[in-house]
Amino acid sequence: MMQPENTRWKHFNSIECLRHGVFDAIVKSANEAIKQRGQFSIVLAGGNTPRTVYRLLRDLDTDWSKWHIYHGDERCLPIDHEDRNSLMAEQVWLRYVNIPASQVHDIPAELGSVAGAKAYAETLHVAPTFDMVLLGLGEDGHTASLFPNHEVDNSADAVPVFNAPKPPADRITISQNRLNNTREVIFIVSGAGKQEAVDHWRSGTAIPATLIAPSCGVDVYCFGVAV
């Protein structure tokens, strides 16, 4: 398990401060990546708090032609289903900015978990190390679609998930190993419902979120939980 010093806890006093904190970190990371490597690749999280961050990005002044968008996980639902993470990002952010369509890498979860994961694994296989991975934390400690009591499947960069405890049961997730292939990770954690998972994490008890342990460490941006 990751050493505690590699997990940097940052507590914010309001949801607005958390939201702006994540926004500022994305902007800093994007500016550096574009300057140093000519592109910025970011993996998006689903969830309500990330949604408010994406809304802020809509108005960012940046060279959008350098951005590459991925998703950490997706629900196996029709492409236009309101619970799709890709639709959420599209509605609040991506349709308002000029990222080339070929650089928005949605997970083709409408194909079903097995075929969709296979296709996304091929996409990821030729993608570089991510610059930034955004992740949420579920009340049960899950992150992306890595759930408790599910065997960790690192057989490909993207893998199917069956019997997820949170609906829908069929999903696709980027694998643990591929998520760890990144220069930066931010967990976005808000709400008292996450306290038990956070307590486990801080006491060194393994939860799915602790599978994410890249050499750069992880930043956990929190509001509404005691840390």
Binding site for ligand 6PG (CB under 6 A): 45-49, 136-138, 166, 191
Q: Strand order in 171-174's β-sheet?
A: 73-75, 171-174, 158-161
Question: Which CB atom, from 164 or from 213, has the smaller least distance to ligand 6PG?
Answer: 164
Q: Please, what is the minimum distance in Å from the beta carbon of residue 31 to ligand 6PG? A: 25
Question: Which CB atom, from 208 or from 214, has the smaller least distance to ligand 6PG?
Answer: 208
In sequence order, what are the residues at sequence separation of 6 or more whose Cβ sits closer than 8 angstroms to the Cβ of residue 160?
113, 114, 116, 117, 170, 171, 172
Q: How far apart are CA 40 and CA 31, in angstroms?
A: 8
Q: Please, what is the minimum distance in Å from the beta carbon of residue 32 to ligand 6PG? A: 26
C-beta nearest to ligand 6PG: residue: 136
Q: Please, what is the minimum distance in Å from the beta carbon of residue 116 to ligand 6PG? A: 15
Question: Which CB atom, from 47 or from 66, has the smaller least distance to ligand 6PG?
Answer: 47
Question: Which CB atom, from 100 or from 148, has the smaller least distance to ligand 6PG?
Answer: 148
Q: Strand order in 7-11's β-sheet?
A: 7-11, 218-223, 185-190, 132-136, 40-44, 67-71, 104-105
Q: Please, what is the minimum distance in Å from the beta carbon of residue 126 to ligand 6PG? A: 26
